[in-house]
Every structure is written in C-alpha cells, then in structure tokens.
C-alpha cells in the first residue's frame, strides 16, 4: 500500500496478489488519465470489511457507472480477488472488470460550498454533514406534523445548489369520530380533529364505563388515543338477606331494576321498604325491610281448670305456652301445649284436666278378676289364677298410678305341672299316649298282651293340685274263661219293605243266638223308658231315630248268652250306621243294674248360653227328666266346656246315660269324658265317648271300676272352641 500527497488529492493504491501490469491506467474524477502512479506491490488480498468502496457483482461492474467520489470493487472468494476500476470517460467513470489482478485509486478534487438554507416551519434538522460539495442536510417534521411537499434530505451539488426543494410540514388530522358507534354514551366536549385536539364523552344516565376512554386526543400518528368508550348499565350490589322475609319478585340488579320482599308467615313489617329499586349511583332506594314476629295476646289472664303453666317462651309467633295438670289429674279436653299462630291467635284451646284414669287392662289368660275398685287414680284390680294354674310372673294386684299406668306387670298364669309318671313303677302295663305333664294333660296306659287291668287306672289326668287322678294301673294275667280271645258280637240294622210279626225267627247256630224284632214290636216291648233284650237296655230315643218309609229291624247276635253286653257298644252301633251297620266289641260281665241318682240334684256348667226362641239352657235341665228339643243344658263356645251334678252323697257310680240334643246340631259332640270324684279337686276319668254323635243319640258310658264319688262331671273336648249341650243326663249308681 502506498500514498501520494501531491496536490489536493490523496492517492491510495491497493494491489491484489503479487502481479500487476504497468500499462494499466487510472482515471481521475474528470476522466483524465493520471500518469503519476506509483505502483506498489502488496502480497495478498484486501478484506472486504475494510474496503472503502462498495461491492459489485461479477459480470455487472461494466454496467454500473461510477458515481462521483465513489469506486466499485468486487468482493472476492477465497484467495482469488477480482478487480473493478474506472477508465477515463467524459464526466463519467465506467467501471470495468479485470481479472485476476488490479488496483484502485481514490482521487480527490476541489471543495464546492452551497449557501445556507432558510429555516423550515414545523420541522427540525436531524442530520447535517456540511454545506460543501456532497454535504447533506436532513429534516424531520415536528411531532404531530407531516411532510406535505418538498424534500426532507437535501445535498450540496457541484453547482453549489441544494438538491430538491424545501420541505413543507403541516399538522396531522385524525379521522372523524362522530361516525363511530358509541354504546350508551354522549359527546360532551370537542376541540377539533387536529394533532392534540380532544373529544370528551359521558356515559348515559344509569350507565358506567366498562372499557375504553371517555377522553381521547388526536396523536401524531393520526390516530386517537385510547379506544372508544363502552358504557354498560350500572349494577347495584347484592342485597344482604332479610331476616324473616322472602323475595317475592325480582327483575334484576341493574339500573331501575326492582326487588320486592314479603314478610314470612307470622311476621309483619316494622320498618324499611318491601320494594327497593337500583339507582344510577349503584345504590338501592329506601332501606332494608325489618320484619318482626307477630304478638299473640297474653294467656295468663285465661282461666285454667286444674292446670298450671310450667313453661312459657313468650307471646310472639311460634312461641309456646306449656301447661301441666295438677297432681292426680290428666287432660280431659283442650291442649297442654299452645303455640302462637301467624294470625295472632293461639293454637288449640285452654286445657281442662280431670282426675287420672288408667286404660282398660287386656284379659289375662288363665286368670279371673276377683276384685276391682275402679280404673281411676289409686284404684286396684286383683286377679286369681284359674284352677290348675299358678302365678309364674307379674302381679296379681295392680294399682292405677298418677302416670295413668298400672303398677307392676300383667300376671302370667301357667298350668301346674304334675310329677313325671314315667319314673313310677307300672305293673305289666305300658304308656301308649301322653299329652304332657301340665294341668289336664293325660297319660294313657295299656296292659301288655294277655294281661288285664286289676287295679288302678289306665287313663290318668293331671289335677290342679299337681297330682294325677286315680292310681297307677296294675295288670294281671287274664284267667276268666268266658272272656275268650275270640268272643265277639256285632249289631246289624237292616230295612225291609213288609211288616213283621213279633218274633219272625229264632235259629240256633253254633255258639250264637239270633233274635229279630221290627221297630213297632220293639216300641211296644220297651214301654215308656226302656226294655231289656238279653240284658241290653234298648231306649226309646234310639228307636225314634230309626225313621223312614222302610221299617228298620234290630238284629242282635252274641257269642255267649251268659255274658252281659256293653250298652256303650250298642249305642255306638246305632249311631255309626242307621241304615245298616256293623260294630265289633268285647263283651263285659254284668254286675247288676243300679238306679238313677241324679234327677233333681244340684247342677252347674262352665258357662250359660243365652238361648233364644223359648229354649231353656240352664244346667238343671240336664236332670229334669224331660227329653225334648227345647229342654237342654247349653254352654257358650269354649275349648273344653263342662257340666256337673252333685249327687248329694257318695255313690259307687256304675254308668251314665246321656241323651244328645234332638235338633240339627247333635254332630257338635265329638268326644266326651266322664269324671267321678269326692269333690271338684279330686276327680278321676272313668270312661269316655268317641263320636261324632247324631241328633237324639243315647250315649252310655260305663264305669267298670265302680268309682266312688259325689260329683259327676261331663267334659266335651274339641280341636277348636265349640258349644256343649245335652237333653238329659242319667247317673246310675249302687
């Protein structure tokens, strides 16, 4: 690199690489060849970063004219640099491209000065390089102004004149805002639309600014400051809940909206407003309503019958007054608690108290009321367990207390329990049936094969005194020849179309006799009460039941004429089959007939039925000697109804003959037990009847052991409660 300081110019030579040509010429700004060039060799390439000349693209340098005072150079790639330089041409230097070597030269020239420029209104000089040749001056319109004409940059030219024309700056103008929509707002002030002019808005009544600006100013960028105002209707704050009041209507919380209250039931307005409106200042009109409870009149001035006030919360709505009856009194009418209602009246009515009365007590099973003083306060009721029952828990005497409750607890009576008979010795007998060991339960025995009862009882019943009836059975070997294993009899009833003589036939058969009677002959032979055919009592009641167009015939067949017959077996034969029948049984020894000892004696029964249509139903009708449909004893519906007769003295009871009811209800008798005893606490079962019976049937129950007793009792047994009625009862005793 070298320099030449001769004249007014500074010569700068740049060489590229190591080679150069001496015949290359450089031209000056005027196109004259500058011959006084000192070639300076410099090994290497210059960096484009420090090059004082602009770059030119390869192949295009020749197409660019060198501006005065400037040179063009080509940026190189790698270590190979390319050169552009100017050759002399009239007034214009044309850049030519040469490769790969070359040099540049910056030629100076004489200084040219332009005149001072006049000040520009509303503009400011922002840059100035001087007034000499190629010096520039740059303007900028002041803030809020813009160039309307002229040039903001002017350059001193070689003719000493400034390029372009003076700039003219005028104030900027913002767009007309009146054409913009304004939401619920009005323009209240406006100074214009030029730079720094303002426009002022106000939200309409009841509206407030939500977004945007109520004052806007025209800015230097021709835009208004801020953004258009957006006004929204004002909203009042939420109102606090009102005690004892309810909102009945509400249009909202915005300007001019209303809210309406109503005091709750039982409350009334004391102050404030029940309707309030949202105002433009975001406040609600009026004041909050104050609802207070209504007040009922004072009850202390009312008369109270046998009651006192025990509690009182006040006289306002829902307040209560509580009364209590005085000692030993309970509420009869009115109310012990009264409440103040919304209409300022008290609920209910004044209490009226009466003396305490306890509720009816439920019946006690197996117990009877023996004494009762009433159900009022301190009244008592006394029970006694029924015969055969004893108290297990509860109280037999209970008293009405002041709390309307009976003292103690209901008595519980349970059947007495007899000792277990299974531990007793039984001579040649076995227990065949046992219902239990409680009161009225039974144990049934049977002698073993070829043994018969000698003493004691085959059926024993638990008594009320916790003892068993009778005595343990004692069975012994059967030694009586006439009671053979095969001794049997049967009774047959037949019907025939023709009349019969008194005795139609008598035929001798092996160990059998046959005797046949027709009904009419039997009636004539029976007489008023009965007759005996081969020792068998035939009663008119039996014959009367043998009715119908065809006359029945009674045929008796027996194994041994020397043996008596069981009337119970005979009667059951008649009851089981009226048209034709066959009954088998064992004969019994006759011991001689007794006499009737029961007529017109003292009687009793478990209950008395209220008979209708002329019936007489007392217990005495069982021993009055009348066997008519409307003369009978009759109990109410019971599980085990009974009838008894007191014979007046102790007898050996042989048998009991009963005549069943003669109307349409004879079938009610299904099972009947015969009891004989010295008194009602010591009675034993001596026989039974198993039915069902028929209307008017004559039932014979024989006591084979001839038990001694003064009381004879008949008990009817059923699976469900039933009536018990018989037309007549005859007790035979010796």
Per-residue pLDDT reduced to its tens digit, 621-644: 899 888 877 788 999 989 899 999
* DSSP-derived secondary structure letter, 299: G
Is 400 exposed, middle or buried, given 0-12, 13-18 or 19+ CB atoms closer than 10 A?
buried
- Three-state SS annotation for 354-373: EECECCCCCCCCCEEEEEEC
Cis peptide before 157 (omega within 30 of 0): no
Q: Write down the pLDDT at residue 328.
A: 81
Average pLDDT over residues 350-373: 91
pLDDT at 477: 79
The reported pLDDT for the residue numbered 182 is 80
- C-alpha closest to that of 426 among 450, 406, 453: 453
H/E stretch holding 544: helix 540-544
Q: Between the CA of residue 302 and those of 162, 331, 350, what are the distances in Å?
A: 121, 17, 8
The answer, yes or no, to whether residue 102 has pLDDT greater than 60, is: no
Q: CA end-to-end span of the chain, whole Å?
A: 185
> Average per-residue pLDDT in the chain?
73
Going along the chain from its start, the domains and CATH numbers come out as 2-104 (no CATH), 123-171 (2.10.70.10), 177-233 (2.10.70.10), 245-293 (2.10.70.10), 299-355 (2.10.70.10), 367-415 (2.10.70.10), 421-477 (2.10.70.10), 490-567 (no CATH), 595-733 (2.60.120.260)
Q: What angle do CA 569, 575, 576 make, to 5 degrees?
A: 90
- At residue 421, the pLDDT reads 79
Sequence-ordered list of residues with C-beta below 8 angstroms from that of 24, at least 6 positions apart, any chain: 85, 98, 102, 103
Q: Is the pLDDT of residue 70 over 60?
A: no
Question: Is the Cα torsion angle 540, 542, 545, 546 positive or negative in sign?
Answer: negative
Listed in order, strand segments (DSSP E) in 570-724 are: 595-596, 602-605, 633-634, 642-660, 671-679, 682-690, 698-702, 708-716
The model's pLDDT over 160-180, given as tens digits with 9 standing for 90+, comes to 899 999 999 998 999 988 777
Sign of CA dihedral 71, 77, 78, 81: negative
Per-residue model confidence as pLDDT tens digits over 124-165: 999 998 888 888 999 999 998 999 999 999 999 888 899 999
548-594 tens-digit pLDDT: 333 333 333 333 333 333 333 333 333 332 222 222 223 333 334 57
Q: Which helix (H) or strand (E) holds 542?
A: helix 540-544
What percentage of the chain reaches a pLDDT higher than 90? 39
421-439 tens-digit pLDDT: 776 667 788 888 888 888 8
Band (504; pLDDT cuts 50, 70, 90): very low
Per-residue b or e along 518-555, where b marks 16 or more CB atoms closer than 10 Å to that residue's CB: bbebbbeebeeebbebeebbbbbbbbebbeeeebbbbe
Confidence category of residue 704, pLDDT binned at 50, 70, 90: confident
Distance of alpha carbon 438 from alpha carbon 435, whole angstroms: 9
Q: Rounded to an integer, what distance in angstroms lies between the CA atom of residue 283 and that of residue 276?
A: 10
Rounded Cα–Cα distance for residues 619 and 622 (Å): 6
534 alpha carbon, distance to own chain's centre: 83
- Give the residue, 179 or 225, on which the prediction is more confident: 225
């Amino acid at each position: 690199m070298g320099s030449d300081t001769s004249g007014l110019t500074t010569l700068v030579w740049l060489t590229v690489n190591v080679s150069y040509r001496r015949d290359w010429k450089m031209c000056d700004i005027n196109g004259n060849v500058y011959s006084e060039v000192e070639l300076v060799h410099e090994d290497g390439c210059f960096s484009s970063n420090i090059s004082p000349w602009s770059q030119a693209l390869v192949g295009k340098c020749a197409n660019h004219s060198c501006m005065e005072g400037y040179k063009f150079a080509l940026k190189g790639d790698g270590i190979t640099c390319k050169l552009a330089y100017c050759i002399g041409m009239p007034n214009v230097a044309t850049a030519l491209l040469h490769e790969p070597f070359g040099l540049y030269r910056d030629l100076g020239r004489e200084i040219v000065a332009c005149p001072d420029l006049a000040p520009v209104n509303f503009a400011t000089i922002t840059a100035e390089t001087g007034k000499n040749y190629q010096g520039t001056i740059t303007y900028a319109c002041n803030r809020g102004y813009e160039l309307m004409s002229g040039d903001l940059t002017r350059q001193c030219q070689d003719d000493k004149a400034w390029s372009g024309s003076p700039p003219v700056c005028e104030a900027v103008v913002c767009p007309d805002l009146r054409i913009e929509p304004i939401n619920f707002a009005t323009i209240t002030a406006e100074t214009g639309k030029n730079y720094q002019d303002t426009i002022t808005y106000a939200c309409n009544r009841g509206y407030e600014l939500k977004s945007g600006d109520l004052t806007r100013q025209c800015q230097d960028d021709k835009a208004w400051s801020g953004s258009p105002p957006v006004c929204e209707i004002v909203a009042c704050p939420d109102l606090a809940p009102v005690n004892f009041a309810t909102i009945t209507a509400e249009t909202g919380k915005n300007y001019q909206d209303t809210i309406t209250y109503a005091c709750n039931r039982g409350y009334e307005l004391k102050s404030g407003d029940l309707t309030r409106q949202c105002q433009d200042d975001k406040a609600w009109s009026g004041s909050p309503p104050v609802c207070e409870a209504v007040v009922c009149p004072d009850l202390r001035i009312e008369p109270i019958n046998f009651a006192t006030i025990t509690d009182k919360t006040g006289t306002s709505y829902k307040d209560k007054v509580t009364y209590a009856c005085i000692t030993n009194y309970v509420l009869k009418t009115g109310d012990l608690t009264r409440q103040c209602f919304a209409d300022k009246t008290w609920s209910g009515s004044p209490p009226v108290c009466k003396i305490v009365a306890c509720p009816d007590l439920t019946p006690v099973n197996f117990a009877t009321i023996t004494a009762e003083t009433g159900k009022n306060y301190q009244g008592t009721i006394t029970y006694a367990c029924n015969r055969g029952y004893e108290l297990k828990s509860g109280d037999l005497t209970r008293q009405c207390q002041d709390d309307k409750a009976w003292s103690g607890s209901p008595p519980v009576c349970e059947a007495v329990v007899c000792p277990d008979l299974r531990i007793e010795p039984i001579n040649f007998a076995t227990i065949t049936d046992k219902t239990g060991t409680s009161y009225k339960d039974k144990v049934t025995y049977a002698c073993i094969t070829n043994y018969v009862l000698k003493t004691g009882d085959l059926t024993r019943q638990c008594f009320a005194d916790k003892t068993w009836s009778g005595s343990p059975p004692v069975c012994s070997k059967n030694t009586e020849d006439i009671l053979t294993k095969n001794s049997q009899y049967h009774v047959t009833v037949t019907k025939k179309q023709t009349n019969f003589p008194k005795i139609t036939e008598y035929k001798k058969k092996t160990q059998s006799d046959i005797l046949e009677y027709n009904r009419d002959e039997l009636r004539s032979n029976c007489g008023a009460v009965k007759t005996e055919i081969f020792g068998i009592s035939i009663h008119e009641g039996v014959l009367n039941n043998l009715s119908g167009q065809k006359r029945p015939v009674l045929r008796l067949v027996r194994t041994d004429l020397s043996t008596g017959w069981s009337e119970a077996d005979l009667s059951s034969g008649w009851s089981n089959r009226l048209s034709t029948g066959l009954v088998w049984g064992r004969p019994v020894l006759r011991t001689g007939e007794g006499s009737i000892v029961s007529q017109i004696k003292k009687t009793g029964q478990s209950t008395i039925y209220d008979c209708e249509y002329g019936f007489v139903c007392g217990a005495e009708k069982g021993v009055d000697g009348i066997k008519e449909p409307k003369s009978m004893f009759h109990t109410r519906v019971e599980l085990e109804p009974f009838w008894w007769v007191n014979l007046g003295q102790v007898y050996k009871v042989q048998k009991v003959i009963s005549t069943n009811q003669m109307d349409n209800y004879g079938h009610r008798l299904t099972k009947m037990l015969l009891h004989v005893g010295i008194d009602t606490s010591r009675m034993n079962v001596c026989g039974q009847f198993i039915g069902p019976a028929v209307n008017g049937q004559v039932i014979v129950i024989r006591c084979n052991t001839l038990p001694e007793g003064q009381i004879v009792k008949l008990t009817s047994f059923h699976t469900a409660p039933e009536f018990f009625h018989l037309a007549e009862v005859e007790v035979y005793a010796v």
